[in-house]
Amino acid sequence: MSDLHQTPLHALHLSLGAKMVPFAGYDMPVQYPMGVLQEHLHTRAKAGLFDVSHMGQVRVTGADYASAAAALEQLIPVDILGLAENRQRYGFFTNAQGGIRDDLMLANGGDHVFIVVNAACKAADIAYMQAELTDVTVTEITDRALLALQGPAAEAVLSTLDARAAGMRFMDVATLTLAGAECWVSRSGYTGEDGYEISVPADQAVALAEALLAHQDVAPIGLGARDSLRLEAGLCLYGHDIDTGTNPAEAALGWAIQKVRRTGGARAGGFVGADVVLPALAEGAARKRVGLLPQGRAPMREGVPLFASEEATTQIGAITSGGFGPTVGAPVAMGYLPTDLSANGTTVWGELRGKRLPLTVAAMPFTPANFKR
């Protein structure tokens, strides 16, 4: 018997012919019979349905929203107090060294903060919040699944179940009634496409997934295409592109730290690692996360070392994510380079199977984002 956790959609994945793999302690679908390439292209053209129920759903409650937000601002360097009701934003926990403990999404739920954290980190994240934030209540929500509906047809599809979906804009959150279930919905995702993330009661998750899959434009999508979609979108995968040793300034995530939390802002600092993070944002970091386009046809994956020239002996960086970009039609990658070699158009060299091959530093995303602003 496997000791892997199963999501509420596990039996549905098997019935759809999914190939299952262990991921973050869960038995998860990596692909369906359509295959990773076609699943990726289908999501960009129509709509894909992803099971992301392995991620952690957490409610943080205080005397009111402001007290919960103020508490969380001690751990997360973004403007949570200033987030409007029914709005969501990206954030992360920092550590004392200025590194990233995990990245997350957080929403103003009116009287609480709703947070979604990564599956591999969720137990540690929840324990960390509970230990550090003694004046608020941190509750893991264990009776809800999480689905993502992503792609240009997502709005039309979800609107057939609740017309209010169409009125939402990027990073709005709302409570919708979908296939009879009360769902907490955000207009967001991690593919670079328009779409929604849907928290649904676990016992109604299969019915909702089946209702969405009944639409001709919706196909089930596995973790394989989820990874290639987010890579083309230039989005970080925790534990690969960012980790406890990565400063937000290096990771090109400074955009997520609003002015009010930066040096000179009304609530500057006050978060773990601020003495490291804020100077790095102000002065610039020594290295930077960049997009990379291998010049040949061979994908260059995580761990490939980078060099300044074909002959150089000193490694200057490494690829943190890479693979074939189906929409781009060529290999894409991201990694870290010294800031003075990080300008778009710079050529660097990766060592693949003992051979040096050229890559060009390129802007991300590799394919334009299609969010509904």
Which ranges constitute the DSSP H helices of 90-183?
A: 122-132, 154-159
> How buried is 79 (Cβ within 10 angstroms: 0-12 exposed, 13-18 middle, 19+ buried)?
buried
Phi/psi of residue 45, each to 5°? -95, -35
CA 173/CA 40 separation, integer angstroms? 26
Residue in 160, 259, 215 with CA at minimum distance from that of residue 49: 215
55 by DSSP, 3-state: which? coil
CA 205/CA 183 separation, integer angstroms? 10
State the amino acid at position 72 in one-letter form. Answer: L
Numbered residues of the known binding site:
197
DSSP-derived secondary structure letter, 340: G
Residue in 192, 208, 162, 206 with CA at minimum distance from that of residue 291: 192
Numbered residues of the known binding site for substrate:
197
Q: What is the DSSP string of 98-121?
A: S-EEEEEEEEE-SSEEEEEE-GGG
Residue in 106, 172, 117, 171 with CA at minimum distance from that of residue 140: 117
CA 226/CA 230 separation, integer angstroms? 6
